[in-house]
Amino acid sequence: MKITLYGAAGDVTGSAYHVQTERGNVLVDCGIFQGGRDAELRSRKPPPIDYSRLDAVLLTHAHLDHTGRLPLVVKAGFNRPIYATPATIEMTSLVLHDSVKVQSYDLMRLNRKRLRTGLTAQPPLYGDEEVKKVEHLLRPIPYNESIEVAEGIRMRAVEAGHILGSVSIELSIKEKGTTKVVVFSGDLGPQGMAILKDPMPFRNANIVFLESTYGDRDHKSLKETLAEGEEIIQYAIANKGKILIPSFAIGRTQQLLYYIAASFHNERLSQFNVYVDSPMAIEATKIYLKHTELYDAEAMELLNSGHLKADLSHVKYVVTPEESMALNNVPGPMLIIAGAGMCNAGRILHHLRHNLWMPETSVVIVGYQGEGTLGRRLVEGATTITIFGEKIAVRAQIHKLGGLSAHAGQTDLLRWFDAIAPSRPTVVLSHGEDRGRIPLGQIIEQRYGIKPVLPEYGDQIEV
Ligand SMILES: [Zn+2]
C-alpha cells in the first residue's frame, strides 16, 4: 500500500491523501491551498491521480481547505461516492457554493485588471454546476460503524470535535492476507470546546497521520478567555459602545453564540442585542441547531432545559445588506458578529469604517489573522487604516481573545496520541508548518521513542 500527500505537508491547507492498494484506491479529503504566494495557482489543479481508478473520496470535515478541490476532481471525471457524515454533507454544500460566490467576485476584480493591461480574462475554477455534481455524489456515513468504501478497504469515522460533523477516519485495509490499520486524525478540536463532544482517540494503528497545527503550544485557557470576553462586554454596555467581532462563519460564530447564551443564562451578563451579520454564518448556525445529536452533555442540558432557545432569542440575524447598513444608525451597546474572519472582505469592513474612530468601540479578534490582512494590522496596533480608499483613525479598543481555537493545542494532541502510542504506529505529522510539527515531533520521539515523518508535498509513504 502507498499513501501520497497532495497537500497539508509542511503547511496547514490543501489536505489530500491518496491511498493506493492492490485492489482499491481512495482519496481522503481534497482541499484548496490558502495563504502564501502561489496558493491560488496550486488550488487550480486537482491532485494528479488517475480518476478513472479512484473508488471513493472520504471527507473528515467541510472546511474549504479539506473540500475546496472536490469540484475539480468531478471536473476531472470522477463520479463515484464521496462519503461524509450527514452534517458534513450539509456544511460542504454551503461552503462550496459560498466559494463559487467569493471566487466570482474576486475574479471580476482580477479580470478587470487583466483586461486593462491587454491580457485575456481568466475563467473561474468551477461554478455552481460542478458543485451540484459534487452534491450529487455525497453519501452519508454513520459514526463508529465500519463500512466498505472500496474493495479491501473499510472505513470507520469517529468524532474529531473540530466543527460540526468533523471526524477522524480509520481505514482497515486487507492486502496479501493481512490487515493494516491507517488512521487520519483530521483536524482535531481542543478538549472541552463548546457544543461538540471531545475528540475520540484510537487504540490501534499501523500508521497515523496526525495534524500538528498547534504542535508547538497550548492555547490560553478557556476560563481565562471567557472571563476576558465578559469584561469587554461589560465595558461596552457601560459605555454604550459597539463590539465588533470579525468571525469565521462556521464553528467560531456558533461557539461565540453559545458562550454568550451561557453567560446570559448564568447571569454573568445582562442581556443586550447580539447581531449575526453574515448570511453564511446564519446558514451554518441553522445546521448547528439541526444536528443536536452531535452536542456534548453540557449543550444537551442547556438545550433540553429550554434555556438555550430562550437565551438565543435576542440574537438577531441580519440577512440583507440593507439591514446590515441600518445597524449604523442603531445606538450601542450591541455586539455584531460579521465576516470575514480576517477583516479582508465582507460586511465587517463597513462596521469597522463606521465605528473604529470611536473610543467606546471594541474590536475583538478571536481567530488567526494572516499576514497582510487588515485584521493583522489592527492586532499589531495600527493607528490609522484605509478602508474603501478612506483613511480611518483607530481609536477603538482592540482585543485579542486567544482561547477560542477550534484546533487542539500541544497537550491535547499528545493526549490523543497517547492512546494509540502503545500500538507503536508509524507517525506522519501532517497539517502543520515546521513551527508546529518539529517541536511536536521531538516530544513524540523523546516520550515514545518513535521518530515521526515530516512529509513534503508529493511524498509517498509505503506501508
Ligand atoms: Zn478544519
- We report the CATH number of the domain holding residue 140 as 3.60.15.10
> How many domains is the chain partitioned into structurally?
2
Distance 265 CA to ligand 1 centre (A): 29
Number of neighbours of residue 75 by Cβ within 10 angstroms: 17
3-state secondary structure of 153: strand
CA of 375 to the centre of ligand 1 (A): 20
What would the mean pLDDT of 364-372 be, rounded to a whole number?
A: 84
Q: Integer distance in angstroms from the first to the last C-alpha of the chain?
A: 5
Residues 53 and 12 in one domain: yes
- Residue 393 CA to ligand 1 centre (angstroms): 34
For cell 461557539, name the residue.
255
Question: What integer is the mean pLDDT of 334-356?
Answer: 92
**C-alpha 114 to ligand 1 mean position (Å):** 33
* 428-460: pLDDT as tens digits: 999 999 999 999 999 999 999 999 999 999 999
Q: How far apart are the CA of 381 and the centre of ligand 1, in A? A: 28
Q: How far is the CA of 63 from the centre of ligand 1 (A)?
A: 5
pLDDT, tens digit, 9 for 90 and up, residues 117-156:
999 988 888 999 999 999 999 999 999 999 999 999 999 9
Cα 430 from Cα 443, distance rounded (Å): 16
Secondary structure element (H or E) that encloses residue 210, with its range: strand 207-211
In terms of domains, do 124 and 238 share one? Answer: no
Residue 122: the pLDDT is: 86
Residue 50 has pLDDT above 90, yes or no: yes
69 alpha carbon – ligand 1 mean position (Å): 15
Q: Residue 38's pLDDT is what? A: 83
Mean pLDDT of 389-411: 94
- Indicate whether 338 pLDDT > 70: yes
Q: Which of 266, 238, 267, 257 is nearest to 313 (CA)?
A: 257
Q: Rounded to whole angstroms, how far apart are CA atoms 241 and 64?
A: 34
Residue whose C-alpha cell is 441553522: 286
pLDDT at residue 40 in the model: 83
pLDDT classification of 348: cutoffs 50, 70, 90: very high
One domain for residues 183 and 116: yes
Q: What is the CATH number of the domain that holds 350?
A: 3.40.50.10890
Region 234-252 average pLDDT: 93
14-37 average pLDDT score: 92
Q: Which residue among 400, 424, 448 closes a domain?
A: 400
Provide φ and ψ at 212, rounded to 5°: -140, 30
Residue 22 alpha carbon to ligand 1 centre in Å: 31
CA of 137 to the centre of ligand 1 (A): 21
Q: Are residues 324 and 426 in the same domain?
A: no
Cα(110) to ligand 1 centroid in Å equals: 28
Q: Using CA atoms, how far apart are residues 337 and 335, in angstroms rounded to an integer?
A: 7
Determine contact, residues 68/126, Cβ cutoff 8 Å: no
Distance CA 137, CA 188 (A): 26
Q: Are residues 178 and 259 in the same domain?
A: no
pLDDT of amino acid 272: 86
Which domain range does residue 12 map to? 2-217+406-462
Average pLDDT score over residue span 364-375: 86
Residue 393 has pLDDT above 80, yes or no: yes
Domain boundary among 400, 420, 443: 400
Side-chain-side CA neighbours of residue 170 (13 Å): 22
- Of 182-191, 365-374, 407-416, least confident by mean pLDDT is 365-374
Same domain (yes/no): 119, 150 = yes
The whole-number pLDDT of residue 37 equals 66
The verdict on 261 and 195 lying in the same domain is: no
| 162 C-alpha to ligand 1 centroid (Å) | 7
What is the average pLDDT across 43-72? 96
> Of the candidates 185, 179, 184, which has an alpha carbon nearest to the alpha carbon of residue 153?
179
Q: What pLDDT, on the 0 to 100 scale, is given for residue 266?
A: 79
Q: Are 390 and 415 in a shared domain?
A: no
Q: Is the domain of 418 the same as that of 389? A: no
340-357: average pLDDT: 92
| Distance from residue 270's CA to the centre of ligand 1 (Å) | 33
Q: What is the pLDDT of residue 193?
A: 92
Q: Is beta strand 147-150 parallel, antiparallel or unpaired with respect to 138-140?
A: unpaired
Mean pLDDT of the chain: 94
418 vs 40, which has greater pLDDT? 418
Q: Which of 400, 418, 448 is the last residue of a domain?
A: 400
Distance CA 322, CA 331 (A): 17
User: What percentage of the chain reaches a pLDDT higher than 70?
Assistant: 100
229 and 335 share one domain: yes
Q: Tell me the pLDDT band of 36, cut-offs 50, 70 and 90.
A: low
Q: Which protein residues have their CB within 5 A of the ion that is ligand 1?
A: 63, 187
Ligand 1 centroid to 61 CA: how many Å? 7
How many A from CA of 219 to the centre of ligand 1?
A: 17
Dist. CA 15–CA 209, nearest whole Å: 11
The answer to whether residues 307 and 177 belong to one domain is no
CA 280 to ligand 1 center in whole angstroms: 16
Give the pLDDT score at 125: 87
Q: Is the pLDDT of residue 248 over 80?
A: yes
Residues 170-181: pLDDT tens digits? 999 999 899 999
pLDDT of residue 123: 87
pLDDT digits (tens, 9 = 90+) for 69-125: 999 999 999 999 999 999 999 999 999 999 999 888 888 888 998 999 999 988 888
Let me know whether 233 and 191 are in one domain. no
Q: How far, in Å, CA of 223 to CA of 289, rounded? A: 24
| Residue 351 Cα to ligand 1 middle (Å) | 27
Kindly give, in sequence order, each residue whose CB lies less than 8 Å from that of residue 418, ignoring residues fewer than 6 positions away.
201
pLDDT > 70? residue 46: yes
